[in-house]
């Protein structure tokens, strides 16, 4: 996989979008899902507030806050269900499942659906003027697939890449007002860098906008989150066609908190009649043995060179 090409796609794509992002309104990264799942009977509860500014007809800039939240429960280590709250937009459901576990040599793959609700345009900017913005694509039943891979073992740098494709909320409008259309509608992705075990720095393309943020885990129960979304609008000039009265065409700042509880049961097998057992990842163990052997050889070579 060619990192320069992938990074270029993630950086260039945001300049071809119109939409509105709301980080930490769903379980995942910023505004995109993650291939990692909660443990069986583990519960995650999140709450966030997104601050944004929009002008009224008189040209006065008004500051607003969009609240959001979610609750999710892990099932058998292979699935996850929950619900999302988008302020005035109300509630919707979500579900995801793990298709393939990630190992040192292979990526993790998951499938999921968000915005499980009958209302076609499930969104949170209820106070926005509908004459300024509408959703050409239905926002409910947004189905997606995601591939995730941590490359720390291969590039000696703590980085993880996530690439996905989805429908509904992941699809950019075909009526772009501030740039070109997305050449691959529904494509989304992110780069995660891990400065430490407790922290992540994330650059994300959510299918329609560029978002950047950070996550810090205070302990196993409390995580604080912060993000700036729709960053492409910071590059918009006064001569552009951007509408300052459109809530979807302004950068936004989000802060949030996630609480994790459990797991309440130690059940990890899908078969309730199968005896619980502890299993090692033999492949990971063999890889670690190889790395250790190589490290010893390199140390010996260095010692020989010195002497």
For residues 288-299, give the mean pLDDT: 78
Length of the chain: 307
**pLDDT > 80? residue 283:** no
What's the DSSP call for residue 168? G
Domain 3-282 -> CATH class = mainly beta
Distance CA 77, CA 117 (A): 25
pLDDT tens, 163-189? 999 998 888 766 555 444 667 889 999
pLDDT given at position 59: 67
Residue 261 CA, chain-centre distance (Å), reads 21
Helix (H, G, I), strand (E, B) or coil at 80: strand
Closest CA to 182 of 235, 134, 236, 137: 137
Residue-wise pLDDT tens digits, 36-73: 899 999 999 999 999 887 776 666 777 888 889 999 99
- Provide the token pair at 158: 């703590």
- Mean pLDDT calculated for residue range 21-33: 90
206: its two tokens: 């959510």
Q: What's the whole-number mean pLDDT along residues 62-90?
A: 89
Short-list 243, 11, 43, CA closest to 131:
243
Say what percent of the chain tops pLDDT 90.
39
Whole-angstrom distance, CA of residue 126 vs CA of residue 129: 8
């Amino acid at each position: 996989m060619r990192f320069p090409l992938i990074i270029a796609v993630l950086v260039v794509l945001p300049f071809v979008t119109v939409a509105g992002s709301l980080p930490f309104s769903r379980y995942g990264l910023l505004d995109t899902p993650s291939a990692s799942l909660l443990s069986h009977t583990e519960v995650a509860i999140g709450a966030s507030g997104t601050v944004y500014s929009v002008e009224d007809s008189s040209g006065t800039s008004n500051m607003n806050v969009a609240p959001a939240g979610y609750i999710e429960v892990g099932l058998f280590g292979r699935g996850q269900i929950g619900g999302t709250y988008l302020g005035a937009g109300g509630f919707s459901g979500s579900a995801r499942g793990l298709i393939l576990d990630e190992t040192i040599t292979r990526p993790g793959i998951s499938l999921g659906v968000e915005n499980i609700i009958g209302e076609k345009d499930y969104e949170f900017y209820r106070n926005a003027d509908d004459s300024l913005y509408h959703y050409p694509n239905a926002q409910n039943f947004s189905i997606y697939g995601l591939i995730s891979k941590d490359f720390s073992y291969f590039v000696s740098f703590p980085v993880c890449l996530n690439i996905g494709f989805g429908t509904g909320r992941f699809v950019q409008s075909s009526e772009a007002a501030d740039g070109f259309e997305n050449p691959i509608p529904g494509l989304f992705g992110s780069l995660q860098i891990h400065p430490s075990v407790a922290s992540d720095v994330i650059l994300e393309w959510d299918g329609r906008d560029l978002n950047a943020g950070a996550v810090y885990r205070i302990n196993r129960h409390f995580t604080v989150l912060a993000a700036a979304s729709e960053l492409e609008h910071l590059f918009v000039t006064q001569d552009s066609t951007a509408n300052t009265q459109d809530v979807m065409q302004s950068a936004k700042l989000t802060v949030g908190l996630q609480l994790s509880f459990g797991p309440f049961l130690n059940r990890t097998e899908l078969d309730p009649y199968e005896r619980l057992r502890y299993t090692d990842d033999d492949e990971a163990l063999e890889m670690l043995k190889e790395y250790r052997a190589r490290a010893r050889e390199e140390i010996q070579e260095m010692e020989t060179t010195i002497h």
